[in-house]
Chain A
Amino acid sequence: MAEVEEKKEQASGTGTLTGAALEAEDVLAGAEPWAPIETKLVVWSFVIAIIALVIGLFLVPTSVLH
């Protein structure tokens, strides 16, 4: 695991692709129950998207509104 940690930190922020990234182990089990903060997170993301969309459509000269 220490080796994997090191690989991850070396790649951190660089976007580096290497064949060494193609290693795997099972981390798919143990889903926690959905929490209220997750609802807030996704709802606010969608709200920001809609606001950005409306503003963008009005402001960007190449949008379908113009």
Chain B
Amino acid sequence: MTDLANRKWYTGMLTQEDWWAVWLGVGFFFLSLFNIVGIDLVGWMTYPTKWVLNVPEGGKGAIGHAFYALGKKYSVTAKGFYKGLGWWSVIWTYVGFTIATCLGAFFMKWNMKRFFVGWTIIYFLTIATWFVGHHAFIAANKINMHKYGLNFALNLGGGGSFILALIVGLIIGNFFKPFAQFLSEAAKPEWYIKTAIVTLGVKLGYLPIKLAGMSQKLGKQAAGITFDLFVAGAAATIVAYMIFWPGVYIISRKIFKLPRATAAVLGSGISICGVSAAVATGGAVKAKPVVSIMVSALVVVWAVIELIILPGVFTHIWPGTKDPLVAGAAMGMSVKTDGADAAAGELLDEFMRNKVEVESNGAIKWPEGLITSSAVMTKVWIDMFIGIWAFVLALIWCYKIECKPGEKVPASEVWHRFPKFVIGYFFCWFFLLAIYFGPGQGGAPEAMPFLKTVKAGAVPVEKGMRKLFFMLTFISLGIITDFKKLREAQFGKMVWVYFVALFFFIIPVAMVIAYLFHHGMMPPNIAEFVVK
């Protein structure tokens, strides 16, 4: 056990999931940058494409091409080599990420044998689910289904794979519990999603570069939108944060008559950022340890329920495709674990882009990732405030509520509660922005050959690695989610506090605040630049 009193600023750099999300995300990001000097070290990352068993004449979707190495499309120096990989890219990806994750597991002192076997099973389950989820019947939409010889498709885009992964995970977690228990050493949704969020930083930084390839104006527009999301997300989060916590605290104390410390932990867990906030606040207010654990369990289960409900509600009821970034920002403030939030944001992204394309008959296409980014941005800001709020509560409890002579709260608590993966996210984003505005000359035509080499590295990371880690997150979330726990008597009152607070307070307030700060922001239309 770590000696909390003797923690240094660098404590946990090799032993915490947060830091290992940074090492994985930033590590592969740096590998991708070797493309600038002509060495493609990441083109092997695999990616699925839509397929059908019987390809129509002149159509698309051969099963032999259902997985390909992204270097086949984007590599500048090794396109031929990566083209030959095809389905073998699945094995290359397995080897690459097995080495990386096992390294993390080793330093985090997990059971290596169980992790390796569990990871292997989860990886190939993920690939199988990804494959099935990309059958054209599930993934195609009205615009492109005819290319696969279909007259009807479910219209789910890449979101179908995510839903399928969650279902597979939930089946294992709820019906094959000994198997789920065995896999639990490698079913780490928070680690996978934090890694995916770091690579989302690559996505954000890469967006201007990608759109500059279509037109210089679009590139600058994308850079502007990402910065607007950054600023609006910060403001919305501070406001939401300071409304959520006291609101949930009052609901817990006045309506459900809960003890003070339990209400404080619930207030943080439901309103701020789930598990981390519950644990941090539990420590700050000196709640019984089991309170943090109970709230964490509730957060996990409710986050999965939100993940299932909210993307559809936001897409089809309100705000719909008229305000996609309002929906994303509201998602980030409503879903209380990083994993479920980013996953719900990704699902929302898929649903929204698909819907607008169908509604406009192909005249409007949005670049992928911006709606996910709006969901993650508010969440990331919330994560950053956990430490500050836990520190404030610790001060209040220490000096005002449970006054003990001589007791002090060190300021270093803020740093120790800071979500470190956020550093990786911003680092990748700003690094690529610096490349875009520096040697990339803001997308000027003469800099395009250089930006193409950056793109060759960035795409496998922001697309292949990010989506794979999202899939791993969905399946792992399902594996560790046990709905039976909600029925357990001990949870009774807390389940109702959570339900009332979430659906009658948090989500409505989040939607209003997201609207106030994001209304009217739209992703750029790239339809005229996309090859049909």
Contact = CB atoms under 8 A, between A and B. Distances in A.
Contacts of A52: 235, 238-239, 242
B416 interface: yes
Nearest to A32: B260
Interface centre among A21, A41, A42, A43 (most CB of B within 10 A): A21
A31 B520 CA distance: 45
Nearest to B338: A15
A8 B300 CA distance: 16
Given A27-B291, A62-B232, A17 B300 contact: yes
Contact of A13 (B259, B276, B337): B276
A1 B289 contact: yes
B493 interface: yes
B243 A49 contact: yes
Contacts of B188: 16-17
Given A37-B401, A53-B239, A62-B232, A14 B280 contact: no
A25 B292 CA distance: 11
Given A9-B1, A61-B231, A19 B243 contact: no
Contacts of A11: 275, 279, 296
Contacts of A46: 242-243, 246
A22 B243 contact: no
Given A16-B275, A21-B293, A37-B400, A28 B260 contact: no
Nearest to A63: B517
Contacts of A7: 289, 293
A19 B274 contact: no
A42 to B, nearest CB: 4
A25 B290 contact: yes
Interface of A: 1, 4-19, 21-32, 34-35, 37-38, 41-43, 45-46, 48-49, 52-53, 56-57, 59-64
28 contacts: A7-B289, A7-B293, A13-B279, A14-B18, A15-B279, A16-B188, A17-B188, A17-B189, A17-B337, A19-B187, A21-B293, A23-B290, A24-B294, A26-B490, A27-B259, A27-B262, A28-B494, A30-B259, A31-B258, A41-B396, A42-B246, A49-B238, A52-B238, A56-B517, A59-B235, A61-B228, A62-B231, A62-B519
Given A15-B419, A60-B231, 11 more contacts: A8-B279, A16-B188, A18-B184, A21-B300, A25-B290, A27-B259, A27-B294, A37-B396, A38-B253, A64-B516, A64-B520
